[in-house]
Amino acid sequence: MMFKDFFGTEPSVRASAPGRVNLLGEHTDYNGGFVLPTPLPYQTHLEAAPAEGLEVYAENFGERKSRGLDEPKQGDWLDYLAGCVWVLRQHGYPVAGLRAYVWSEVPMSGGLSSSAALEVATLRALRELYQLPLDDVQIALLAQQAEVEYVGVRCGIMDQMASSVGRLGYGLFLDTQNLATRLAPLPEGYRVAVVDSRVPRRLAESGYNTRRSECEQACALLGVRSLRELSPADLPRINALPEPLNRRARHVVTENQRVLDGVQALEQGDIRRFGELMVASHVSLREDYQVSIPELDLLVEAALRHGAVGARLTGAGFGGSTVALVEASRYEDFQKGVLQDYPRAGFL
């Protein structure tokens, strides 16, 4: 079933946007730091037409929902589309509403930015429907604003930028402070393996907002506006902070350095070094940022045991997925081995 089958008319526009997996740079984006995501070959799709208010069918949920533009958010999936209409109207764009049919190949609650893919796809559809003068960076910024101010998840800009301006086959090095980007080629002969733990997470209900507040507290005590202003040379000051603020700041500062080192490793073709940085990132996320869970730790250990050169959790943590870098020729054996150690694992 598609838009015409459901609504009885042809859609005016079609739009899509990919999910993403983050190779390095976790929980650094909302701290003004560096990130290295790459878009996935899995898309969220919209077929849409203009409307008064919102009328949306989501194939993945098997649900049809409607809402007037003046009605409050409901805490459901429609909030993400409503937030996109809301943010455009906040900026003065003459958007009356949206009728849409939505389906997605991006796993939900897996840490692969299904929400950002939905937001970017929705804004792309609205851009075309209403002939809005928006470039891809502006789309990403509006998508982030919708999620932060309307949905209520205090996310950084990484997910939306990866979905809106990323390129398949490349890591997107992004300076979240000034939105400068650079493409770093992923190694030939290797696969980026995304493994779902099957433990769902919901950002607004997790410790995500708590971690962000802890970083802000650390900044206040250190007398800086952002942890981006600090470097590994500042670790003695950071280590002197009270628990757990010292751990939170230490992760962000060292993770920023890992991204810089990782981009250099990719550009030099040093895959082993890149893999070491992925593992170090996971250890930091587990020990200092404390966002891993036993299932994610097991998946990382299994990935390394069965041939991955590097592996780590990806996304905010508290469930979701891991990412590993595996030689393409060894991928089938890698997959079998991980499934033996963690039978619930899901592979994209």
- Per-residue pLDDT averaged across 50-64, rounded? 95
Active-site residue (options: 159, 261, 297, 333)? 159
Output the pLDDT for position 239.
98
> What CATH number is associated with residue 214?
3.30.70.890
Output the pLDDT for position 207.
81
CA distance 53 to 32: 35
Q: Which of 293, 310, 304, 311 is nearest to 341 (CA)?
A: 304
- On whether both 222 and 168 belong to a single domain, the answer is no
Q: For residue 93, which phi and psi values (nearest 5 degrees)?
A: -80, 140
> What CATH number is associated with residue 17?
3.30.230.10
CA distance 322 to 164: 22
CA distance 126 to 14: 10
CA distance 235 to 249: 9
Q: Is the pLDDT of residue 204 over 80?
A: no
Domain boundary among 134, 158, 183: 183
Arithmetic mean of pLDDT over the chain: 95
Output the pLDDT for position 132.
98
- On whether both 170 and 199 belong to a single domain, the answer is no
Q: Is the pLDDT of residue 230 over 80?
A: yes
CA distance 243 to 26: 20
Distance between first and last Cα of the chain: 24
CA distance 62 to 196: 23
CA distance 229 to 117: 30
Q: Which of 209, 207, 224, 216 is nearest to 245 (CA)?
A: 216
The helix/strand/coil state of 50 is coil
Query: pLDDT tens digits for 76-125?
Result: 999 999 999 999 999 999 999 999 999 999 877 667 889 999 999 999 99
- On whether both 111 and 10 belong to a single domain, the answer is yes
**Residue 76 a catalytic site member:** no
- On whether both 199 and 341 belong to a single domain, the answer is yes
- On whether both 113 and 215 belong to a single domain, the answer is no
Q: Quote the percentage of the chain above a pLDDT of 70.
A: 98
Domain boundary among 158, 183, 208: 183
- On whether both 313 and 273 belong to a single domain, the answer is yes
DSSP for 110-172, written as a single string: SSS-HHHHHHHHHHHHHHHHTT----HHHHHHHHHHIIIIII-----SHHHHHHHH--TTEEE
Query: pLDDT tens digits for 6-39?
Result: 999 999 999 999 999 999 999 999 999 999 999 9
Domain boundary among 148, 183, 218: 183
Give the type of residue at 204. A
Query: pLDDT tens digits for 161-201?
Result: 999 999 999 999 999 999 999 999 999 999 999 999 999 87
Q: Each residue of 172-190: b (16+ CB within 10 Å) or e?
A: bbbebeeeeeeebebbeeb
- On whether both 273 and 153 belong to a single domain, the answer is no
pTM beyond 0.85, yes or no: yes
Range of the domain at 285: 187-347
Q: Each residue of 18-48: b (16+ CB within 10 Å) or e?
A: bbbbbbbbbbbbbbbbbbbbbbbebbbbbbb
- On whether both 205 and 58 belong to a single domain, the answer is no
Output the pLDDT for position 1.
62
Lookup: tokens for 340: 């033996």
CA distance 38 to 113: 11
Residue 283's H or E segment, with its range, is helix 271-287
- On whether both 193 and 74 belong to a single domain, the answer is no
Output the pLDDT for position 206.
64
- On whether both 94 and 175 belong to a single domain, the answer is yes
What domain count does the chain have? Answer: 2
- On whether both 99 and 195 belong to a single domain, the answer is no
- On whether both 312 and 163 belong to a single domain, the answer is no
- Per-residue pLDDT averaged across 148-163, rounded? 92
Find tokens 């939170």 and name the residue: 248
Give the type of residue at 134. L
For the chain, helix, strand, coil in percent to 5 are 45, 25, 30
